[in-house]
Homo-oligomer: A and B are copies of this chain.
Amino acid sequence: MSDRTTIGVGMVGHAFMGRVHSQAWRNVSAFFDLPLAPRMAVLAGRSKERTSAAAAQMGWSDVETDWRELVARDDVQIVDICTPGDSHAEIAIAALAAGKHVICEKPLANTVAEAEAMVRAAAGAPGRNMVAFNYRRVPAIALARRYVEQGRLGQIRHVRAQYLQDWIVDPEFPLVWRLRKDKAGSGALGDIGAHIIDTTQFVTGQNVVGVSALTETFIKERPLEEGAADTGRVTVDDAALFIGRLSGGALASFEATRFATGRKNALRIEINGSGGSLAFDFEAMNELWVSEGGGGFTRILVTEPDHPYVGAWWPPGHGLGYEHTFTHEIKDFLEAVARGTDPAPSFADGLRVQRVLAAVEHSAADSSRYTVVEDS
């Protein structure tokens, strides 16, 4: 490892996403032969105390309480943005302007305008950019993409994509930032709907060209904090349903909800083509179900050495977990940075998803009328 070039990483935010990204930075080199050795240089957070504790636990060498300081540091070549959506644009644009490579959590931004500004900033910058749609790096999803690319599904006719969770079914669950439009941009739509849009576009190789949508906020007021008597207004959607067309002629349906009681993290996608079909559910993330030629569905345990990313890990039948999707993402990011090419999905891909989200909101506000996705 000593002959590899070291590259310094600074991460902003240390909540859920920060913990998973840290796990990826800490372990990626132990499993993948990479041209660049990431060094976990600095973690930024608002509270000195909490950030220091997080850094110690997760293995970051130093801390900052202002992300601008982090961006300015010489020992940081990569900026990893793990904050809520309302700060993505500002941090990313500053980091790109400072010549850094940037990896940014999804959705890329809270509005199309912000996302466009980020893409513009990226266009003129020396650093590389990536939006962290980690589910592309589930081996089963990457294998699904491979099957479609190989033509094993023939012409794609149908996609049904769902992302089902249930963590806010209880009306006493408080008004966290993910339920506030000013912080999160939207609700289930941007948080998890964005993932199924990206996954659909990635696996099929086709864009969503138009949508017809319904959204709903089932619980309109919630306690400001857990157990609080005071309540505040939920300003985002609880659920978003939309149907649409893909650039290759397929019909697609999408559903993102946090009210699917009993479904914990069911990112599901089923694709039917003229020659075969695929089905996936993240709750069984090591399995891909494939039908070829109309026959029964085969449960492929995606743990074989020739499956995407899997060769680096364990023998067949020894499954991977959620965090590995981030390790794979970081691996691909580092390779792209070393190669000097754009990682996928780039900010431009993130903007594409953002435009679909905007079309969904537009359609939902206009009697579900079919709305063409901008620039498609």
Q: Which residues of B lie under 8 Å from residue A59 when comparing CB positions?
A: 30
CB of B282 within 8 A of CB of A317, answer yes
- The residues in A between 247 and 298 inclusive whose CB is less than 8 angstroms from any CB of B are 249, 251, 253, 255, 257, 259-266, 272-277, 282-287, 290-291, 293-298
CB of A257 within 8 A of CB of B322, answer no
- CB of A23 closer than 8 Å to a CB of B: yes
Q: Which residues of B lie under 8 Å from residue A274 when comparing CB positions?
A: 169, 259, 261
Please tell me how many copies of the chain the complex holds: 4
Separation in Å of the A267 CB from the closest CB of chain B?
A: 9
Name the one of B30, B218, B285, B368 contacting A157, with C-beta atoms under 8 angstroms.
B218
- CB of A203 closer than 8 Å to a CB of B: no
- CB of A166 closer than 8 Å to a CB of B: yes
Q: Which 8 A-B pairs have the closest CB atoms?
A: A265-B317, A264-B317, A262-B291, A321-B321, A212-B368, A318-B322, A264-B316, A368-B370
Contact surface of A with B, Cβ cutoff 8 Å: 1-2, 16, 20, 22-23, 26-27, 29-30, 53, 56-59, 153, 157-158, 160, 162, 164-167, 169, 212-214, 216, 218, 239, 241-245, 249, 251, 253, 255, 257, 259-266, 272-277, 282-287, 290-291, 293-301, 303, 314-324, 367-370
